[in-house]
């Protein structure tokens, strides 16, 4: 009976120690990778918003709501302009 108890204790101890090791390894990896993301980039912030910002070290420039969105601007299409002119 004592041998079975010793074997069960050894198995539980082995599983617990390997679980703690894997958990510490994963948490350590996440912390290290997380800290590498928090370096100063453009704009004086500690968060990288895009890969382009990481490479160019310039803040991202966002479009204003009224800016055209390229050659196919759906807000100012001929159909919508014609319908607005009829009203």
Summarised one tens digit per residue, pLDDT across range 1-46 is 889 999 999 999 999 999 999 999 999 998 888 777 666 555 566 6
pLDDT greater at residue 63 or residue 12:
12
Mapped onto helix, strand or coil, the DSSP state of residue 3 is helix
pLDDT greater at residue 50 or residue 64:
64
Residue given tokens 């980039």 in the structure block? 41
Q: What pTM does this model have?
A: 0.44
Phi-psi category of residue 43: left, alpha or beta, with phi > 0 → left and psi -120 to 50 → alpha: left
What pLDDT, on a 0 to 100 scale, did the predictor assign at position 79?
84
Handedness of CA 83, 85, 86, 87 (dihedral sign): positive
DSSP secondary structure code for residue 68 in this structure: -
What are phi and psi for residue 42, nearest 5 degrees?
-70, 150
């Amino acid at each position: 009976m004592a041998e079975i108890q010793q074997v069960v204790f050894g198995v539980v101890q082995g599983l617990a120690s390997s679980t703690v090791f894997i958990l510490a390894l994963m948490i350590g990896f996440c912390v290290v990778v997380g800290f590498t993301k928090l370096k100063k980039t453009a704009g004086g912030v500690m968060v990288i918003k895009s890969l382009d910002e990481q490479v160019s070290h310039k803040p991202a420039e966002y479009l204003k709501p009224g800016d055209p969105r390229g050659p196919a601007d759906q807000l100012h299409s001929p159909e919508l302009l014609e319908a607005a002119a009829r009203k």
